[in-house]
């Protein structure tokens, strides 16, 4: 019997992983916020995955953090700002050999969780898969993509990657996961805040090419300064390519703001500006972008961090 995957957070990505693992016969348990959410989940009779208009419901067992069973493998699938508190509630249940897979976008939350659990192995992930919820306990698989996993302190790939293979989750073990996370952070910093400020789809940033280029130059400087030169390579071209390839899409930050949801700003642009300050690097356009974005969030009644 293979090790059970505990999935923390029944949101978009948590459900996308839980349903595919369950479909492959991998043992999965879903950790819900509290008894009320558990009761609601049990009434719904499972998790539904909608793929190309076809839906399937999977009977994944639900539980709360108070359940007594030890956790050996934990997929942390909540937002970056919730990760530390959510993991803290499970600390007593983590087995001495526990492994955590951290799916959070941006940077900062992974190190915070790893520092909280010095005995556990924390594997960082960066995913280009796309999913959204179209109802409670339902997720729509909106964009096929890839997930890179890696452990900066320990280059050996875990054997359980076989479970991902069986579940049809496209993935690769990455020996440079921090470079990937920094690169994605830089892309997100160059694109997402501007889509919020200009209230536009990604493609409309083609009309703001100079501003994008200036931000890319500053982000490149930051990456070099933070010891991530590989993440800086040809950044502007990649940003332009992504803007073109996702022209019709609204960025994730745009979608959060439009839906009145808290953003992950502190783990994206906020993290970049803090890193610049730590290195005494003056990046005026990036800093100004953060000021403008925070103003916009506050004007909409959303948290500044």
Neighbours of 131 (CB within 10 A): 21
Whether 190 and 240 have beta carbons less than 8 Å apart is answered as: no
Question: Cβ of residue 104: shortest distance to ligand NAD, in angstroms?
Answer: 4
**Which of ligand NAD, ligand KPL, none interacts with 9 (beta carbon under 5 to 8 A by kind)?**
ligand NAD
Query: How far lies 81's CA from each of 185, 241, 305, in Å?
Result: 15, 29, 9
Query: How far lies 183's CA from each of 189, 198, 208, 235, 274, in Å?
Result: 10, 23, 21, 8, 17
Residue 193's φ and ψ, nearest 5 degrees, are: -60, -40
- The residue number whose beta carbon is nearest to ligand NAD equals 11
x/- map, 258-277, ligand NAD, by CB under 6 A: ------x-------------
Question: Cβ of residue 245: shortest distance to ligand KPL, in angstroms?
Answer: 8
Q: How is residue 74 written in tokens?
A: 């934990």
| 184: annotated active-site residue | yes
Residue 78 makes contact with ligand NAD by CB under 6 A: yes
CB-nearer residue toward ligand NAD: 183 or 214? 183
**Which of ligand KPL, ligand NAD, none interacts with 104 (beta carbon under 5 to 8 A by kind)?**
ligand NAD
| Interface with ligand NAD: number of residues (CB under 6 A) | 26
Binding site for ligand KPL (CB under 6 A): 187-188, 191-192, 202, 242, 246, 251-252
CB-nearer residue toward ligand KPL: 157 or 302? 302
Question: Cβ of residue 75: shortest distance to ligand KPL, in angstroms?
Answer: 20
Q: Which listed residue (7, 9, 110, 124) binds ligand NAD by CB under 6 A?
A: 9
Q: Which listed residue (51, 82, 176, 240) binds ligand NAD by CB under 6 A?
A: 82
Q: Which residues bind ligand NAD (CB under 6 A)?
A: 8-14, 31-33, 77-80, 82, 86, 89, 103-105, 127, 129-131, 133, 264
Catalytically active residues are: 184
């Amino acid at each position: 019997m293979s090790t059970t995957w505990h999935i923390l957070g029944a949101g978009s990505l948590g459900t996308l992983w839980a349903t595919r693992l369950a479909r492959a016969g991998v043992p999965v348990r879903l950790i819900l916020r509290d008894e009320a959410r558990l009761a609601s989940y049990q009434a719904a009779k499972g998790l539904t995955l909608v793929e190309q208009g076809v839906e399937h419901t999977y009977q994944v067992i639900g539980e709360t953090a108070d359940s007594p069973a030890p956790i050996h493998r934990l997929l942390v699938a909540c937002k970056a700002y919730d990760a530390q508190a959510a993991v803290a509630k499970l600390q007593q249940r983590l087995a001495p050999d526990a492994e955590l897979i951290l799916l959070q976008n941006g940077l900062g939350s992974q190190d915070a969780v790893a520092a909280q659990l010095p005995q556990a192995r924390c594997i960082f992930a960066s995913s280009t898969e796309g999913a959204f919820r179209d109802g409670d306990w339902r997720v729509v698989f909106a964009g096929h993509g890839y997930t890179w996993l890696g452990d900066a302190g320990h280059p050996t790939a875990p054997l359980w990657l076989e479970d991902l293979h069986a579940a049809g989750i496209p993935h690769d073990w990455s020996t440079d996961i921090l470079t990937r996370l920094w690169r994605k952070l830089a892309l997100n910093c160059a694109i997402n805040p501007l889509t919020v400020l200009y209230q536009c789809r990604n493609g409309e940033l083609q009309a703001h090419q100079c501003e994008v280029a200036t931000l890319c130059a500053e982000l490149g400087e930051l990456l070099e300064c933070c010891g991530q030169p590989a993440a800086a390579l040809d950044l502007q071209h990649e940003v332009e390519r992504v803007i073109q390839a996702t022209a019709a899409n609204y960025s994730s930050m745009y979608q959060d703001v439009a839906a009145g949801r808290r953003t992950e700003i502190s783990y994206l642009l906020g993290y970049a500006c803090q890193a610049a300050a730590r290195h005494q690097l003056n990046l005026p356009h990036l800093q100004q972008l953060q000021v403008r974005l925070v103003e916009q969030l506050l004007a909409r009644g959303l948290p500044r961090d």
